[in-house]
Amino acid sequence: MTPKRALHSLQVLLIASLIITPVWLSLANSARAETPAGYSEYYIPGSEEQMWGIFYDLDPYLLDINQGMHSTIAITAGTDNTSLYYDHWEDGYDFVPGDPASADESYILNQGDVQVFESANIPVNPRGTDTYHDGQDRIYSVGGAVTVSRATWTESASTLFAQAWEVLPTRPYQTQYSIPAGENLAAAPTNYTDFTSSYMILQSTADDNSVQVDDPLTALSPDIDAILDKGEVTQLYHVNAGTTVNATYPVQVQTIYGNDYGGTAHYDSRDFTLIPSALWDTEYYSPVGGFGGGYETDLYIYNPHSTDLTISYQDMLGQGSFSIPAGGTVAYSSGTGRYVPQDSGVYLSAGQPFWGIGSADTESTTYDWGFSLLPASALTSDYYLGWAPGTSEPVPTDNGSPAFVTPVQDNTTIYADFSPVDGSADVSYTSIPSPKNRLK
């Protein structure tokens, strides 16, 4: 039986409730800079009916639709006096910025405060319109940056079978995305079995949004051609690498991958928040090392171009380069001949923009989780971790939510201020070499 999954959280890569401001705010004209007070808007991805359908298609083992779904949404404040407004989808998006009374719920958070919204036994047979804290809800913050996390699981399987995402503010959402991995990679010659079952979910942030999703390996073109209103969702089952999303107005896109090993193993799944294609970079730092004992970490790197792309890499064991064919995806283990070394970051670069995702405990059901590579241009020096309790107990008994940090520059000191924050570092780590310079 698979142990209870640690629910992965946000990027540095971050997975815990200590304080070490979401990197995407710098890419999106930081919420702190949008107005003197700062504001951010978020839509919670994935309706519960939508997620149930994907869970069931991926691995129906012991799932009971009558027990419904469980949803957790958590917000961590980066500054004092942050106003938080919650807008439920069930009664329509009726919150009006500037009119606090129009919100369904409102809160004031101070720096490091974590506000958790949790609902159990959410019906999906059918969903109905009763009010829960769940997918498709809208969150609006004023006064400072916040970190938003979203986790969902089936009540019958509990957190053995869960998905969790970092939820980005709407500012960096764009209209074009490409999916770097899919079911075609699970077959020979690549045999990347993490992607045996692959799914995409999409959510609109505007009314009358024309959305097309095209999988290049299917007969349909496009596979989805829909008009979505604000907050509405759609999905595509069994997607292949290279699937594209095009929309009239900005959307957010997530993917879910998994494998039930022909019914012989269960609850293997990983989840990723996609980065718009226009924001891809030529440099990435991956902070998640390998774990030893067979719990390997791998990276899957996607070349969106019509010509081959050379990727340069460096980790604590060595450096080199490998080629990714046009439109192809290559695992770090395939290109370098090894998985990500234990306790090592990875530096990746190329002459043209590319993207990638990471898989911890790759091709295994035991401690399975995933993370998205963040462009080096989006990194910053100040981060607040989101909700990551370790295990599903109200007071977790195990530390299942570590934080992974890797520096961009040598001689970097990392300070961590554990929650509740007081402005003073509880621990620090000094003279950490950058993965780019480990061998110099």
Beta bridge partners of 355: 302
- Across the chain, which has 440 residues, the per-10-residue mean pLDDT values are 34 37 36 53 97 97 96 94 97 95 97 94 95 98 93 94 93 97 97 98 98 97 97 98 98 97 94 96 95 93 98 96 98 98 95 97 92 93 81 71 86 87 88 71
Alpha-carbon span 250 to 237, nearest angstrom? 21
Whether 240 and 328 have beta carbons less than 8 Å apart is answered as no
**How confident is the model at residue 9, as a pLDDT?**
31
Confidence (pLDDT) at 438: 66
Question: What does the DSSP 8-state code read for residue 186?
Answer: G
Find, among 256, 264, 271, 357, the residue nearest to 53 by Cα: 256
Q: Report the pLDDT value the prediction gives residue 17, as an integer from 0 to 100.
A: 32
Q: Classify 101 as helix, strand or coil.
A: helix
92/315 Cα distance (integer angstroms): 49
**Rounded Cα–Cα distance for residues 37 and 143 (Å):** 5
Amino acid code (one letter) for 109: L
The per-residue pLDDT for range 99-112, each reduced to its tens digit, is: 999 999 999 999 98
Please report the pLDDT score of residue 37 as a whole number: 53
Residues in the chain: 440
Cβ atoms of residues 149 and 16 within 8 Å: no
* Residue range 404-438, pLDDT digits in tens: 898 888 888 999 998 788 888 999 988 677 888 76
For 174, the token pair is 């764009």
Q: Give the domain ranges of the chain.
A: 18-437
Query: Is 209 strand, coil or helix?
Result: strand
How far is the C-alpha of 6 from the C-alpha of 424, rounded, in Å?
Answer: 27
Beta bridge mates, 270? 257
Q: Distance (Å, rounded) from C-alpha 127 to C-alpha 130?
A: 8
Surface-to-core class of residue 391, CB atoms within 10 Å of its CB (0-12 exposed, 13-18 middle, 19+ buried): middle
Who contacts 106 (Cβ-Cβ below 8 Å, separation ≥6)? 83, 84, 85, 86, 100
